Amino acid sequence: MPRPIKCRKVCHFPNVLEFLPADDTEKKAPIILTVDEYETIRLLDKKGYSQEQCAVSMQIARTTVQRIYEIARKKIADALIDGHPLRIEGGDFRICDGQSSDCNLGGCYKQELYQKYAVEKGEGIMRIAVTYENGQIFQHFGHTETFKIYDVEEGKVVHSEVVDTNGSGHGALAGVLNALNALNADVLICGGIGGGAQTALAAAGIKLFGGVSGDADEAVEAFINETLAYNPNVKCSHHEHNHGEGHTCGEHGCVSHSCH
């Protein structure tokens, strides 16, 4: 029986998920770099970690880091030399939610969010996050700059607060997902949202109610009363299909797999 693969801890989703050759006259199949492979490149080559430090951060063996890193470097070389698109998706990983005590990222906003909201969320509390702008439900999930958080107990809102995504909006969908995960939310109410983000929310155990518009407070009250009008088949709007910097969502997905 094959040995089960241990989930690799990744600090955050990559901000850019696809790189395309400038000259695309000859269409070539994309090379897929998994998120955990990307993380070894980020830690070893960008951050300058040793393999031992990388192993501690990802919570895997040093030999596993070495193997993943070699595969990642080969894929990047093939993409650069042979002119293939390079796409980052999939893999056996879990996104750090700020709970880890061995986080090497000083001043990590996810740690700050988790430490605050994990403590404040008591038993019997359901936390609802709403994409938020000027009292309304913001319609483009991947560009959300703020969430309004509602803690609900016994059918009543007992606390609400507007939370900044730490500058993660304006196309940095990865950062928005990270912030939402760290907020320890149970439910997300939003407008348009792409298929990849929906996959990531499902993997994090966050229930999605998309395709909602109008006043945020009224939407939460409707949700509590089980009268919220939403679209279970909500899709990315045309604005969200291209998040800039080569980041796409929808058909290919912003995230294809996450494990816990």
Question: What is the chain's mean pLDDT, rounded?
Answer: 77
> Using an 8 Å Cβ cutoff, are 131 and 189 in contact?
yes
Q: pLDDT per residue over 226-242, tens digit each?
A: 999 999 887 654 433 33
pLDDT at res. 170 = 35
Percent of the chain with pLDDT strictly greater than 90: 41
pTM for the model: 0.55
More confident position, 182 or 42 = 42
Q: Give the tokens for residue 15.
A: 């901000």
Lowest mean pLDDT among 50-54, 129-133, 210-214, 255-259: 255-259
Q: Is 196 exposed, middle or buried (0-12, 13-18, 19+ CB in 10 A)?
A: buried
Q: Give the tokens for residue 178.
A: 């990270």
According to DSSP, the β-strands at 126-133 and 187-189 are parallel
pLDDT at res. 194 = 80
According to DSSP, the β-strands at 126-133 and 136-137 are antiparallel
pLDDT at res. 166 = 55
pLDDT at res. 253 = 32
As a whole number, mean pLDDT of residues 177-187 equals: 74
The CB-side HSE value for 169 (13 A sphere, CA atoms) comes to: 15
Non-local (6+) Cβ contacts of 71 within 8 A are 37
Report how many helices (DSSP H) and strands (DSSP E) the chain contains, helices first: 7, 11
More confident position, 70 or 180 = 70
pLDDT at res. 121 = 65
Cβ–Cβ contacts within 10 Å for residue 18, how many? Answer: 16
Most confident stretch, 18-27, 182-191, 211-220: 211-220
Alpha-carbon distance of 125 to 237, in angstroms, equals 32
**Cα 8 to chain centroid, rounded:** 15
pLDDT confidence bin for 116, thresholds 50/70/90: low
Cβ–Cβ contacts within 10 Å for residue 4, how many? Answer: 7
Q: pLDDT per residue over 45-103, tens digit each?
A: 998 999 999 999 898 999 999 999 999 999 999 999 999 999 998 888 877 765 555 55
Alpha-carbon distance of 164 to 145, in angstroms, equals 6
More confident position, 39 or 260 = 39
pLDDT confidence bin for 108, thresholds 50/70/90: low
Query: Which residue from 180, 175, 194 is spatially nearest to 256, judged by alpha carbons?
Result: 194
Q: pLDDT per residue over 117-167, tens digit each?
A: 655 666 788 999 999 999 999 988 877 888 899 999 999 999 898 887 654
Alpha-carbon distance of 207 to 188, in angstroms, equals 6
Q: Give the tokens for residue 118.
A: 């994990």
As a whole number, mean pLDDT of residues 255-260 equals: 40
Non-local (6+) Cβ contacts of 204 within 8 A are 95, 177, 180, 181, 258
pLDDT at res. 90 = 84
Alpha-carbon distance of 124 to 111, in angstroms, equals 23
- Would you say residue 260 has pLDDT above 70? no
More confident position, 63 or 2 = 63
- Would you say residue 12 has pLDDT above 50? yes
Give SS3 for 95.
strand
Residue linked to tokens 């304006």: 170
